[in-house]
Amino acid sequence: MSRPLRVGVLCHPTVGGSGVVASECALSLAARGHRVHVFSPGVPPRLARDAGGVVLHRVRGFDYPLFDAGGDDYAAASAVLRVLADDGLDVLHAHYALPHALTAVVARDAWKNGGERAAPRVVVTLHGTDVTLVAAEPSYAPLVRHALRAADALTAVSDDLARRTRAWWGTSAPAIDTIPNFVDSAVFRPDATGDAGDRAPGPLRAVHASNFRELKRVPRLVELFARASRGTHAELLLVGDGPERARCEALARELGLADRARFVGERDDLPALLAPRDAFLLTSAEESFGLSALEAAACGLGVLATRVGGLPEVVRHGETGLLVDPDDADAFVTALRGWIADPAVPRELGRAGRARARTVYDRDAGVRRYEDLYRRLAADPDS
Ligand code: GMT
């Protein structure tokens, strides 16, 4: 049997998908016998309830007036160096380019220069906005480029993101492998609420989950839902929190949705909230992958989403859901009206979505792809 690996994971502790993927990966690797350390300024949500065998390092800078922007990244690099000294690490896996790829590269290079045990190999997984927003910002672009060039392996969560990263890079872009996100279909399942998974007949129950950032365009979603569902009993559940939530709640009241739209904030019982519903709605302006859409599909919901970024890879138009052009409000309303008229349609698409989530996006298979990459890198220091 091959020896267990020592893996350090750097990620954001926020509810965003990169922290979810990093945590799920860490939990799964630890359950398979690897020694896993997670370095993050807070407790990533999926590790809050049960961190399994994962060793969590909460890295916080100290309150020092000269470090205006906080010193969490310095603390993270120092924590990695401590673990390297005590335990050693084969791989450092940064989820999201900044600051984690940079922190990983700095820690690796500092360790290399110390001339002691072998330095860890650095894997960077790009999640989307780290390239499309952060790297596009001229004041950060050179640093992102440096961190990505200095990594030992780069992965992206969808083919579309890999393509966009190459386009942003221009000539001599480094190799980027696609390792798609995944879902634990034993947790995200149609009977996650405890019933048999058969949805009671009745008006359409739709759901949306996000961090309510501007690019998710949730106010637009509320408006389009109001248009499509006027005069019906269709319901909309909105899960999550973020900058645009208050505006969305006010808009829902204004549009007469007070009785049919419910905002429940950030929740960690997502499977139980998704499972009893029929349809998942997403109107994002961009989405490198759309993990929430995959989790909804795994629960058996049909997905109605915008045709942007990696979503066409995750949602198969006409097979597991429907995709509409991001600026075509009428198309979204027409599609949603069809589902409101016959909620059996999204349920049928949801059945196909669950089957696809289980085969194409299986959690164990996804984590194994990272594990294989770690082993290749650890076995060959020159690769
Ligand atoms: O930018 C965000 O909304 C959060 C970001 C993150 O850090 O989690 O989400 C990105 O990564 C997710 C996990 O890989 C993807 O499922 C999301 O599609 C992606 N968001 C965007 O591209 C907007």
Structure confidence by residue, pLDDT tens digits, 244-260: 999 999 999 999 999 99
Pairing between β-strand 55-58 and β-strand 235-239 as defined by DSSP bridges:
unpaired
Among candidates 79, 157, 154, which has minimal Cα distance to 122? 154
199: in domain: no
**Domain containing residue 176:** 6-182+362-379
Which atom of ligand 1 is nearest to 294's Cα?
16
| Residue 280 φ/ψ, nearest 5 degrees | -110, 130
Mark whether 31 and 168 lie in a shared domain.
Answer: yes
Residue 202: Cβ within 10 Å count: 11
Ligand 1 site residues (CB inside 6 A) read 12, 16-18, 21, 96, 127-129, 157, 181, 211, 213, 215, 286-291, 309
SS3 269: coil
Ligand 1, residue 16: give the atom nearest the CA. 8
Evaluate the CA torsion angle 350, 221, 289, 189 in order and state its sign: negative
Residue matched to tokens 């248009």: 227
Q: CA 315, CA 310: separation in Å to the nearest integer?
A: 9
Per residue in 52-82, pLDDT tens?
999 999 998 888 777 666 788 999 999 999 9
What's the pLDDT score for residue 36? 98
CA of 210 relative to ligand 1 center, distance in Å: 10
For ligand 1, mutation pick of 291, 361, 363 (most atoms within 8 Å of CB): 291
Does residue 193 fall inside a structural domain? no
Question: What pLDDT was estimated at residue 383?
Answer: 67
Q: Which two tokens stand for residue 99?
A: 């600051």
In this predicted structure, what is the pLDDT of residue 268?
86
As a residue count, the chain comes to 383
Judgement on whether residues 87 and 12 belong to the same structural domain of the protein = yes
Higher-confidence position of 282 and 134: 282
Both 108 and 209 in one domain: the answer is no
Question: Same structural domain for residues 375 and 328?
Answer: no
Peptide linkage before 99 cis (omega within 30 of 0): yes
Q: Which atom of ligand 1 is nearest to the CA of 132?
A: 22
Q: How many domains does the chain have?
A: 2
